[in-house]
Amino acid sequence: MILRKLTKNHLITVSYCKDGMLHSCRGHVYNLDLINQTLSLKDENSQINTILLPSIKEIE
């Protein structure tokens, strides 16, 4: 249940695959776009990282 974890208002860590390599990103959910299937996370430095939903492997 990936979407259920995204509704919580706390710091999450997302592991995802990009260019054949496994990456991870930590932050708060900034935006969830179901039409474009993207998730935007805002980290501690206020940087916004956009991740494709199909590439997500795990959410902690």
3-state helix, strand, coil in the chain (%, to 5): 15, 55, 30
Domain extent listing, the chain:
2-59
pLDDT of amino acid 56:
93
Q: What is the pLDDT of residue 8?
A: 73
pLDDT at 1: 58
**What pLDDT sits at residue 41?**
95
Q: Report the pLDDT value the prediction gives residue 31, as an integer from 0 to 100.
A: 92
- How do residues 6-58 score in pLDDT, each as one tens digit? 777 789 999 999 999 999 999 999 999 999 999 999 999 999 999 999 999 99
- Does the domain at 2-59 match CATH 3.50.40.10? Answer given as no
pTM of structure: 0.85
Classify strands 38-42 and 21-33 as parallel, antiparallel or unpaired.
antiparallel
